[in-house]
Amino acid sequence: MGNSKKRHKQLVSPSSSVADIPVSEKEKGTSKKKRSRTVIDVVDDSDEDQQVSDSETRQARRVHANQLSPSYAYFDPPHLSDSLDNTGKDACLSICGKNTNRPTYDSSPTNLSKHVASCEMRQKETKNTQKLAALRISGTGDVDPREVPQLCAVWCAESARPFSALGEQAHKGILHPVVIKNLPARKTVSDDIGKLYTAVQEKFIESLKNHNGAMYLGLDAWQSPNGFDILGTVIYRLVEGDSGDVNLEAMPLDFVQLRKSHTGVYLAETVRVIVEKFGIRDKICGIVTDNASNNETMINEIKSYKWPRFKGDGQWIRCFAHILNLIAQVILRPFGSHKQNKTILTSVDQEQYSDEDDEDDEDADPADPDEQIRMCTTGDSSDEDEDDDEDKLLNKENVLASELISDNEIELEDEDLKEMSDEDEDDRYTSTSCKLTLAKFRAVSRKLNKSPNSKSRFKELCHDLECLRPHNVGRDVWTRWNSTLEQLSSIIQCSPAILEWQKEKRYGTAQHHHINQNDLDLARDLVEVLQPFYDITLQVLIRGSARIADIVVFIDQITSHLSSAISDKYDDYPPALRNACRAGLQLTNKYYTLTDCSPLYRVAMILHPSFKDEYFKLAQWQPEWIEESIRLTRDMWETNYKPPPPQPTTSQRSNPGPKPPKGVLAGLAGASEARGGNTNTDPIHMWLAGGLCLTDEGQPVNPLKWWIRQRRAGNTHGGLLQMALDVLSCPATTVDVERSFSFGRDYVSLRRHRLSASSVTQGMTVAFYSKNGKIGSGVLHKWKLKKKNEAKQRDKDKSARR
């Protein structure tokens, strides 16, 4: 039968998944001797045998590819062997340096594991393999299962992620196996954030109690996207690090839900609860808020609490960012680029905005006051996507919330607007024509935003005429004065292309929206007037840069700028623009007088190493004002910072002092004290007699950094050191509070509107604690263990009393 073309086929049951595979001529004789079976002659069915072989090969390779055991990794993909096992089944061959046969029906890796344990190739590879640590490559390290709940809670809070995001399959694919094994449920994560909120605050309270130096509070209210009114508090203080470096810390202290109407009394009571909770009532030296009238009531109410270092209105700092915002809005109001207080519009106003009804809802008044002002970033761009929606240019880090001018803000009265110039029809532009001009600019922006073909043609013209980028005209939002400046700047930048583009009927605007030279003149004049406000606002928005010592300088710059626009530019600016600048100047002076209510502004100027009293003299302050500033500085020093006189030791002999002077000599002593004390020992006099400290470029130095260097050098300046650090660390804006609310809008996303008020406030607080490095390792586990032990102890005490 060995030479027969026909094969003997073993009879197999239908349930069998394995068939005989043809073997070589050499092995047929031996295989017949090993097996006793019934055979019959059948026709050649080699095609069927080949299909069975392919099926078994695929099955074997599928087992290898699944690699349910790590042993499979040491073997190549298997193929069918020419030999059979002792049960008559075909074997598959795996190669690992040498051939290894195993039955096709056996998927157990037991024999493979035994081979791997003694495999010479594996031992050789092990000798040639180094661990990552030996190559100075650090891995993820071991994860303590007890740390997993805290890690998950911090990740959800700080990243503003939904609790359900932890369990998403794609997210699990990048997690550590220990984290996956101990992954908490959604409800557990929410509970852990609340527990972490309490645990971190307990440690933070101890840190605040041990702090030496002044603290300031920043306050503002906000409504979350899901409708909860929340009071945000930020603590400002100088913090000394482990390395001895002193840094200015501005960190959200707590977020609390406001359950009642926002009256000044209710806000004051809420602030009192927060301050006493953290035990800092004796260290609060000032409060910074916006200019709303209920805040004035709140400050007066807090004064009645008789905190040791808070004396009421004298320690109330009005947010300078809001002041800048209000002045700019007053300047733009006559031109219709600011929301009117009255709901009735003039015929010109109706014509101006009648064609804007089809604008996106994004151009309407934001419901959230924190959305009302956003600082935009501009500049040349090489990206062709500069024509995207302008909202994509907004920088979230530069969000600045502002109240609109309303009854809650200080506003100009009729008697404040004096010496206004009369407008004439022959002027280059008037208040009425300015409204129409700004309406033209908005029409250009709207056309480019709504029509892709028009925008494409406009970009071609900008490229041909070599206009600066971006080749686009931004939108003007009523409640964002800086958006008006952005639009005016882009109009000037792309004016050559606009003049050509508007002539093309297919792409340009309607005839009554065509821009002429007078319109461009107004745009240039307004940019000149508004640009300093934008530059100062950018300085104010730099984190930690807006200090109270800078406010007087900024106000003087604005006063000088507006005064120059009114007088020096008399022939350049028409009456309409000069009147607008005069209204802005009147409001600036009105806010300037408010700085006289707080000694902090003038004391900060006196203690500034680049200003002292010399700045007041150069600014031509009245001599009595300068003397008053020095007196306020001396009073603060003597009340809170004057070092106590040294006490003589008992071992020292008490020498009798000289007899007190009499007559005229006694009068001289009194006159000397009235003129400023002993010039040899009086630190205030010695400080003012010294020179001014400037940079190599002749610019003012950073006052805080200068005094910190004095501290490192051990120079206390007779007690002025701590006083200067306390006063100069006072904030000038509530920008840090507004930024925390910006994060809050991300925290309460559209998918998370069912979050409770406590989940919102605690989650935001934990997020900022984590961002500021206040959450150490194992805090949550230790706190849970502590509470568990306390509960056990209470149970023991109850049992003992029984």
- The total of other beta-carbon atoms located within 10 Å of residue 46's CB is 9
pLDDT at residue 592, as a whole number:
86
Handedness of CA 328, 330, 335, 337 (dihedral sign): positive
Q: Please, what is the Cα angle at 477 between 472 and 481, to 5 degrees?
A: 100
Helix spans in 607-691 (H) = 614-618, 623-636, 664-674, 683-689
Torsion region of 669: left, alpha or beta (phi above 0 gives left; psi -120 to 50 gives alpha): alpha
Q: Please, what is the Cα angle at 763 between 760 and 766, to 5 degrees?
A: 150
Q: Give average pLDDT by consecutive 10-residue segment, the chain, 802 residues.
A: 46 41 43 43 50 66 63 66 62 61 65 67 57 55 86 94 89 87 92 95 92 93 94 93 79 94 95 96 94 92 94 91 91 73 39 42 38 38 40 37 38 53 79 90 92 93 91 84 91 93 90 91 93 92 78 92 85 87 91 83 93 91 92 92 72 56 55 52 89 90 91 89 93 91 91 91 95 92 93 90 80
Q: Please, what is the Cα angle at 760 between 759 and 766, to 5 degrees?
A: 85
Residue type, 318: R
| Assigned token pair, 354 | 């009648």
Per-residue CA distances from 683 to 278, 624, 630 (Å): 35, 21, 12
Among the listed residues 201, 198, 237, the one whose alpha carbon sits nearest the alpha carbon of residue 217: 237
For residues 32 and 22, give the distance between their C-alpha atoms in angstroms, rounded to a whole number.
Answer: 13
pLDDT at residue 476, as a whole number:
85
The phi, psi pair for 413, rounded to 5°, reads: -95, 170
For residues 478 and 490, give the distance between their C-alpha atoms in angstroms, rounded to a whole number.
Answer: 17
Please answer whether residues 729 and 547 qualify as being in contact, where contact means their C-beta atoms are separated by less than 8 angstroms: yes
Please answer whether residues 99 and 93 qualify as being in contact, where contact means their C-beta atoms are separated by less than 8 angstroms: yes
| Assigned token pair, 635 | 């009073």
Among the listed residues 763, 673, 607, the one whose alpha carbon sits nearest the alpha carbon of residue 152: 763
Per-residue CA distances from 767 to 177, 194, 462, 621 (Å): 25, 12, 45, 47
For residues 593 and 577, give the distance between their C-alpha atoms in angstroms, rounded to a whole number.
Answer: 25
For residues 436 and 415, give the distance between their C-alpha atoms in angstroms, rounded to a whole number.
Answer: 28
Handedness of CA 30, 33, 34, 37 (dihedral sign): positive
For residues 258 and 221, give the distance between their C-alpha atoms in angstroms, rounded to a whole number.
Answer: 9
pLDDT at residue 394, as a whole number:
36
Task: With both helix axes pointing from N to C terminus, report the angle between 186-209 and 779-801 in degrees, rounded to the nearest 10.
Answer: 90
pLDDT at residue 656, as a whole number:
56
- Scan for tokens 């002539």, then name that residue: 503
Please answer whether residues 93 and 48 qualify as being in contact, where contact means their C-beta atoms are separated by less than 8 angstroms: no
pLDDT at residue 479, as a whole number:
74
DSSP-derived secondary structure for 500-514: HHTT-TTTS--GGG-
| Assigned token pair, 168 | 């998403």
Q: Can you name the residues that pair with 289 across neighbouring β-strands?
A: 318
Helix spans in 132-229 (H) = 148-158, 169-172, 177-181, 186-209
For residues 251 and 235, give the distance between their C-alpha atoms in angstroms, rounded to a whole number.
Answer: 6
Handedness of CA 697, 700, 706, 710 (dihedral sign): positive
Range 392-399 contact pairs with CB under 8 angstroms and sequence separation of 24 or more: 393/474, 396/742, 397/739, 398/374, 398/538, 398/541, 399/370, 399/374, 399/375, 399/738, 399/739, 399/742
Please answer whether residues 175 and 764 qualify as being in contact, where contact means their C-beta atoms are separated by less than 8 angstroms: no
Helix spans in 451-547 (H) = 452-464, 481-493, 495-501, 517-541
Please answer whether residues 770 and 152 qualify as being in contact, where contact means their C-beta atoms are separated by less than 8 angstroms: no
* Residue 662, helix vs strand vs coil: coil
pLDDT at residue 292, as a whole number:
87
Question: How many alpha carbons fall within 13 Å on the CB side of residue 72?
Answer: 15
Cα–chain-centroid distance for residue 483? 21
Question: How many alpha carbons fall within 13 Å on the CB side of residue 159?
Answer: 11
pLDDT at residue 63, as a whole number:
67
3-state helix, strand, coil in the chain (%, to 5): 55, 10, 35
DSSP 285: E
Q: Please, what is the Cα angle at 683 between 247 and 643, to 5 degrees?
A: 75
pLDDT at residue 567, as a whole number:
85
| Assigned token pair, 86 | 């002792």
- Scan for tokens 């039955």, then name that residue: 103
Q: Please, what is the Cα angle at 313 between 308 and 319, to 5 degrees?
A: 115
pLDDT at residue 26, as a whole number:
40
Domains in the chain: boundaries: 25-128, 188-317+750-789, 322-590, 598-643+681-732
